[in-house]
Structure 1
Amino acid sequence: MSADTNLWSVDTRELAGRLHQELLARGETVACAESITGGGLSDLLSGTPGASATYVGGVVSYATRVKRDLLGVTAAQVVSADCASQLAGGVRTLLRSDWAVSTTGVAGPERQDDKPVGTVYVGVAGPRGVQVHRLSLHGDRAEIRAEACRQAVQALLDELAPERVP
C-alpha cells in the first residue's frame, strides 16, 4: 500500500499530517501493531514528510503466532477488543513509544472468530492506558482495510485532543 498509488484520499493524508503535527508539538512518538491492515497503517503514518520525528515503527502481526510471540497477545480470539488492547500495549512497550495504535478485524471474504466481515477493533495505548474502539465497516476488502487505517489515525487524534490532556 503506497500513497503514491492513490490509496489514501487527500483527507486521509491530511489526517495523518495533523497527527504528525500534534505529536511533534507535544514531543511524542507513535508506533503501530497491525493485523487486518497488513502494513497499510505503517504506510500511512510514515507517508507524511518529516514523519521520522514522530513515527518510530510498526509490527505487522498478521499471523496469530506473531501476535503471541512478539507482542505478548494472550487473547482467546484475535478479532476482539482484548487482542486490540494487547497489540497496542505490546508494541508500545516493544518499540518504546509514547503512543501506539493497533488494528485487528475481518476484511473478508469470510467471517473470522464468529465475527462478520467489516468488524474492526482499533486499540490506542498511551500514558493513561488503552482505549479500544469497535467499528462496523462496509465495502470490499480494500475499502475496509483503508477505512480501518483512517479510523485508527482518527482514534489516536481523538485521544490527543486538548480536552483529554491530563
Structure 2
Amino acid sequence: MIKPMQATKADITKFEADAIVNAANTSLIGGGGVDGAIHRAGGPEILEGCRKIVARQGSCKTGEAVITTAGKLSAKFVIHTVGPVWNGGHKKEPEKLANCYRNSLKLAVENGCGSVAFPNISTGIYGYPKDEAAKVAVQTVRDFLKESDREIDVTFVCFDDENLKLIEAQLNA
C-alpha cells in the first residue's frame, strides 16, 4: 500500500524533507520564482553543484532531473528538474511534465530519500495551465508510488491558494 500524498501552502525553501525539488531552467544557474528562491536560500553550494553538472553534461533538458546538495537548506538534497514551457499542449508538454516528476522521484529513491517536496512545476512563467499540471503531477506521482518498492512521503508544496486547491482536488479524486 502506498503512503498518501499531501499538499500544503508553504515556502518550499523552509519545508523539511530529505529532498526538495527545484523547478529549474536548462542552464541550472538560478532564475526567478522557485528556482531563484532556492538558490538564494541555499547559498553558493547549490550553484557550485549545478555548475559541476553543467560542466559534465552541458545542461539539463526538459523533463530530466539532476541532484545537488541543499547547501544551507534543511533538506539534504535539491533535485533540479526542467519543466516544459506551455505551447498549447501540442509539443508533448504533458509527457515532459510527467517526466519531471518521475525522474525526480527516481533520483530521490536512488539517493535514499524518504521524503520529497515538490513545487508546482511549470505553472508560473512557463505558463502551463494549473489545472492540467495538477492532474499530471498527482497521477504521475501516484503511479510511481504504486510501482515503487520503496516508501516515500510526497508533499506538494504550493505557493498559492489556487494551486493548493487544484492539487487537493486531484488528491481527493
TM-score bin (small chain):
0.3 to 0.5
TM-score, normalising length: structure 2 = 0.36
User: RCO (CA 8 Å, sep 6+): is it higher in 1 or 2?
Assistant: 2
TM-score, normalising length: structure 1 = 0.37
